[in-house]
């Protein structure tokens, strides 16, 4: 009877080991299939809370990066408009300078003014139609133009100054950015062309060059300086947004790595653990089967002895 009792204890031990191997096997499969270390067998509540907090930060950073990219697209749209208006003003300066020369006849001067007038109206068209999501970019006199352009680039930090939100980048003075012909101070040639059956006189062409301020050589130099100022405002904001975007990309990379260390499955280690649990499961199953056979043989031997008695 002592041998049978020992076999029963061994059986219980083998059953316990087999159940443990089954749990480890199931846990490893769950981690490998989900890619996460959090399972029913291994919930890790503290690590799960840390990973959830990091995941929230990652999603917030992703949203702010979208905000920044949208703002950069807005500024690039404005820059393309400014670039073309600058090219047009430069060409108009060439026309005005050429027309103010006495070497041209009045009729030739009129031909130049036809191109000048077409470019003049093109500036107004570009300035009036350049917009992003309904926001006028080159014409601050448009009623749809907001007082300022605010871009949220992060979470609101805790500061002593409630009016100073460090997570918002703001461009003010949008109403002062007017790239129309009126805003740039350019002179129209419509009246000259209307009364130019015999051409345009030299004095009229010279009047088109007259600047609003005496410090400028021509009105076109004055307009080009205004355009440079507008482009500098938008360009400075775009440069700052690019730096903010680079920071967010680095922060996202680091936070993602930290979250991965906490929550992601180590496939090499988990695959080795799965192999180990499979080996233990097969071994304990084989030993349990062998032990059951030995126990059965012992029972048959006892029964045969009892029958002989």
Q: Which residues contact 299 (CB under 8 A, 6 or more apart)?
A: 4
Class of domain 46-263: mainly alpha
Position 5 confidence tier, pLDDT thresholds 50, 70, 90 = very low
pLDDT digits (tens, 9 = 90+) for 64-80: 999 999 999 999 999 99
Express as a percent the part of the chain with pLDDT over 90: 40
pLDDT digits (tens, 9 = 90+) for 260-288: 888 777 777 777 777 877 777 777 777 66
User: Residue 295: is its pLDDT beyond 60?
Assistant: no
User: Residue 305: is its pLDDT beyond 70?
Assistant: no
Q: pLDDT averaged over the chain?
A: 83
pLDDT value at residue 64:
92
Rounded to the nearest 5 degrees, what angle is found at the Cα of 176, between the Cα atoms of 170 and 177? 85
Position 230 confidence tier, pLDDT thresholds 50, 70, 90 = very high
Tokens of 2: 């002592």
pLDDT digits (tens, 9 = 90+) for 81-129: 999 999 999 999 999 999 998 888 889 999 999 999 999 999 999 999 9
pTM: 0.74
pLDDT value at residue 124:
95
Query: In whole angstroms, what is the distance from residue 274 CA to residue 33 CA?
Result: 12
Closest Cα partner for 117 from 145, 88, 97, 142? 88
Residue 211 region by backbone torsions, left for phi larger than 0, else alpha for psi between -120 and 50, else beta: beta
């Amino acid at each position: 009877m002592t041998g049978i009792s020992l076999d029963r204890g061994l059986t219980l031990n083998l059953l316990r080991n087999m159940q443990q191997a089954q749990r480890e096997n199931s846990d490893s499969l769950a981690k490998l299939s989900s890619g996460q270390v959090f399972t029913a067998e291994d919930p890790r509540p503290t690590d799960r809370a840390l990973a959830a907090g990091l995941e929230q930060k990652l999603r917030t950073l992703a949203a702010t990066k979208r905000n920044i990219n949208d703002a950069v697209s807005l500024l690039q749209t404005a820059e393309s408009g400014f670039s073309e208006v600058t090219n047009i003003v430069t060409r108009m300066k060439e026309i005005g300078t050429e027309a103010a020369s006495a070497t041209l006849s009045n009729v030739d001067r009129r031909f130049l003014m036809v191109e000048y007038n077409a470019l003049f109206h093109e500036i107004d068209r570009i300035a009036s139609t350049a917009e992003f999501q309904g926001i006028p970019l080159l014409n601050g006199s448009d009623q749809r133009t907001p007082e300022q352009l605010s871009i949220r680039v992060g979470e609101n930090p805790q500061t002593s100054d409630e009016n100073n939100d460090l997570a918002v980048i703001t461009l003010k003075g949008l109403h002062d950015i007017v790239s129309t012909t009126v805003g740039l101070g350019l002179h129209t040639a419509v009246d000259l062309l209307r009364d130019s059956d015999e051409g345009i006189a030299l004095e009229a062409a010279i009047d088109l060059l007259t600047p609003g301020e005496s410090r400028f050589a021509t009105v076109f130099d004055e307009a080009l300086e205004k355009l440079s100022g507008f482009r500098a405002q938008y360009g400075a904001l775009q440069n700052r947004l690019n730096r903010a975007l680079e920071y967010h990309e680095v922060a996202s990379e680091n936070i993602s790595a930290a979250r991965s260390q906490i929550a992601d499955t180590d496939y090499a280690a988990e695959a080795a653990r799965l192999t180990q649990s499979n080996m233990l499961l097969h071994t304990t199953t084989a030993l349990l089967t062998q032990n059951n056979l030995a126990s059965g043989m012992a029972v048959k031997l006892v029964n045969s002895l009892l029958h002989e008695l």
